[in-house]
Amino acid sequence: MHIGTELHRSDLVTSIFEYLVGGSVKLESYDGERGVYGMLCDVCGRGVKLSELSLLVFADRAKNPEIALEALAMMKDEGFEPTANDYSALFMACRYKRREELVEIYESMPKSFRPQLNGYAQDVVIMAHTQNESEELKLRGLEIFGEDETKWTTYSCNAALDALLQTRQFEALFSLANKMTQKEIKWSSSTFKIVALGHIRSGSVKKALKFMRTNTTPMKNDSAQCYREVIAYYTTTERNLAVACQLYKEMMQNNKMLPRSDWSNALELASRLPDESMHREFRKQQWLQDAPLQAYVPASLLSSDEKHRHSNSAIPLDHENAVIATPSEASDGALALEVLEDILHHGGSGLTKEVASKLVLAMLAHNSIHDCVAMLDYCRGYGVSPTLSARLAAMTALMGGFLFDEALGVAEDMLEDDLTLDPKLSTRALVAATKAKRNGFVTKLSRKSRLEPTILNNCNVMIRNCAREKEWDVVLDLLAAMNGEGVIPRVDTFEFVLISCAMDSCWNMIIDVYDGIPDDFQLLLNKKALSHVFEAHARSEKEEIQQRTLDICIKHKEAHYSRGTKFPFKVAMWSLLEARQYAGVIAIADGVKNGLDRSSTMCRRVAVAYMCTGSMDQATQLLHDHSVNFELEDYEFVLNARCRDECWGM
């Protein structure tokens, strides 16, 4: 039933339900867990009696608290006694809601069942008590918690710690925390937070601060509440705004996704200090964390009271070519400048992947391409790599600015970091590599293709893109590099390149590409690509290449016959005629006799071959047998061929 519910198979759920109630009741289909509850209420309303097995199924397996509670009530009404396992299942079903009823059921269940509850159910019972607003129930929860230490878990211990915190039993809280360590029960971030709050509320604020700073990492993002209470202490009791602001800074650095109220309070507090440096620090943190405050915080808090005192230089990485101006207001550009200057001043401290990415994107947003190049070099020097999206954006901008060497540097770094390059962007990088004579980049890309199918697929796309853009040198370089690494493009990629070359009349290129295709792949070329291969050989000015035409035609004709695919006879015959391999035309024609009909064009070409070899009678007979007439171009071809062969006697 649960699987059927998860799959929204209401028909299946209904049929199982009807089986459970004995098959005597027909029900309408309901959807979801609530639908099962609706059917349960329906049969109860009709006075249908459910078997003990059926009730146990509902009590033990239901994740919906209403179903579990209803099943338990029905079991009691029918005189069936639930087991400890049934109660454990019920408590698990009610773990997120109906906690008040859970408390009542726990107190009313047989006391002998309590030790038999499983660990998860015990955790739920303890949390239901300790998280209640009633102090009496909190204390009762602590009592249940202390009854069986063997069932203690991180969750139940945290529930007990929180109850001790709420009831201000600080010594017991610290004692339990120590006991967790002794029992090797893992502390969660919530454990650290509760212990820190215990120190704060017991008056040991400095001890709490030391504890928080020592455990920054394990507390993760759970320290915000602790900082708020410490800040409140220094603001109201100590009246030390400078320390309070410093604590706000720590809170911002150690907690992500702070609510807007924290940012607003911090900026308001900083605005009361005589020095504006802390206000600027908060704004930089806000920029680093992408906290959108403009729409929610008064404008007066987003800019300093005094005009911002900042040098007139731009980003100090490249003074001469810098583009970002330094505004007096706390704009994003100015904040980016300050963050970078802080990092430079502290020797790279604080330069993380996220910070580097934000700085790179900020420079690109302000069209500061040269600063971006310097920033990438700086990151490289400190072994920090910006995110993939930042590097792709930088690479796009560098290519657009014709900084090909720099763009290729970014691309090579990405390959070194095992990142997959975008096919479109990589195509541009390949073009740039060829223009910059950086053959090493093509080799690196090919070497990576051998290891990663995704990169190999990108290479196929890049070859197509380069062919589409008529970057034939890049195509040949990439094919050669891939061949050197033992990487073979797909057959359809070779076909695309061959066809693209023909459209650009690059006949010699077709021959070069074809010669680089493995023999078994050559035999798989489709009819259109193969036609261009024949034509390219026939058009060659080199006689030795022309002479290969017949061998290639015969090889591919046999391969097509064996596969049962169509062979381009017309193009093959034309190519052989152009290559003056007249006997080859006649030999190819013999293959057409085997169950194939000759077209008029094919007959004319065979007749031309006969005439060019002096077999006039055979040519005439062939044309007569197939009712085909010569056309003007056929006579012209024969005359030109005979003249070329110096056969003036005709």
In 3-state terms, what secondary structure has residue 134?
coil
Residue 471 lies in a domain: no
What mean pLDDT comes out for the span 329-347? 75
Residue 249 lies in a domain: yes
> Minimal CA–CA distance to 513: which of 542, 539, 487, 493?
493
Q: Hey, what are 111's tokens?
A: 């006391």
Q: Residue 43's pLDDT is what?
A: 66
What mean pLDDT comes out for the span 548-556? 83
DSSP letters for 241-275: HHHHHHHHHHHHHH-SS--HHHHHHHHHHHTTSS-
Q: Please give the angle made by the CA atoms of 53, 58 and 59, to the nearest 5 degrees.
A: 95
Contact between residue 65 and residue 124 where contact means Cβ atoms under 8 Å apart: no
Q: Which residues contact 595 (CB under 8 A, 6 or more apart)?
A: none
Q: What's the mean per-residue pLDDT of the chain?
A: 78
Distance CA 550, CA 548 (A): 6
Residue 39 lies in a domain: no
Lowest model confidence (mean pLDDT) among 330-339, 396-405, 534-543, 594-603: 594-603
Q: How far is CA 209 from the centre of its chain?
A: 39
Q: How many CA atoms lie within 13 A of 471 on its CB side?
A: 20
What mean pLDDT comes out for the span 351-356? 88
pLDDT in tens, 120-155: 889 999 999 998 889 999 999 999 999 999 999 999
Q: 457 or 169, which is more confident? A: 169
Residue 237 lies in a domain: yes
Q: Residue 372's pLDDT is what?
A: 87
In 3-state terms, what secondary structure has residue 298?
coil
pLDDT in tens, 405-419: 888 888 878 777 766
Q: 237 or 347, which is more confident? A: 237
Q: Residue 592's pLDDT is what?
A: 60
Distance CA 309, CA 315 (A): 15
- What is the number of helices (H) and of strands (E) in the chain? 39, 0
pLDDT in tens, 434-481: 666 666 676 666 566 554 555 556 677 777 877 887 878 778 777 776
Residue 203 lies in a domain: yes
Q: Hey, what are 77's tokens?
A: 């009404």
pLDDT in tens, 377-399: 888 888 888 988 888 888 888 88
Q: Which residues contact 112 (CB under 8 A, 6 or more apart)?
A: none
Q: Residue 326's pLDDT is what?
A: 37
> Minimal CA–CA distance to 466: which of 456, 457, 476?
476
Count of residues making up the chain? 650
Query: Which range marks the domain in which residue 201 is found?
Result: 187-302
What mean pLDDT comes out for the span 258-273? 89
Identify which of 98-107, 451-460, 582-591, 598-607 has the greatest average pLDDT: 98-107
> Minimal CA–CA distance to 166: which of 206, 123, 135, 211?
135
Which single residue is written with the structure tokens 């610290």? 174
**Domains of the chain: total:** 1
Q: Is a pLDDT exceeding 50 seen at residue 306?
A: no
DSSP letters for 49-108: PPPHHHHHHHHHH--SHHHHHHHHHHHHHTT----HHHHHHHHHHTSSS-HHHHHHHHHH
Residue 199 lies in a domain: yes
Distance CA 430, CA 72 (A): 70
> Minimal CA–CA distance to 167: which of 193, 203, 142?
142
Q: Is a pLDDT exceeding 70 seen at residue 555?
A: yes
Residue 446 lies in a domain: no
Q: How confident is the model at residue 236 (pLDDT cuts 50, 70, 90)?
A: very high
Q: Residue 256's pLDDT is what?
A: 84
Q: 21 or 185, which is more confident? A: 185
Contact between residue 407 and residue 399 where contact means Cβ atoms under 8 Å apart: yes
Q: Hey, what are 380's tokens?
A: 């490289």
Q: Which residues contact 353 (CB under 8 A, 6 or more apart)?
A: 384, 385, 386, 387
Q: What CATH number has the domain bearing residue 238?
A: 1.25.40
Percent of the chain with pLDDT over 70: 73
Q: Residue 173's pLDDT is what?
A: 97
Q: Residue 232's pLDDT is what?
A: 96
Q: What is the CA radius of gyration of the chain?
A: 41
> Minimal CA–CA distance to 163: which of 150, 146, 183, 188?
146
Q: 252 or 83, which is more confident? A: 252
Residue 120 lies in a domain: no
Q: Residue 457's pLDDT is what?
A: 64
How far is CA 276 from each of CA 19, 267, 307, 376, 526, rounded to the nearest angstrom?
75, 10, 9, 31, 73
Identify which of 188-192, 266-270, 315-319, 621-625 has the greatest average pLDDT: 188-192
Q: Hey, what are 342's tokens?
A: 């802080």
Strand (E) positions, 369-506? none
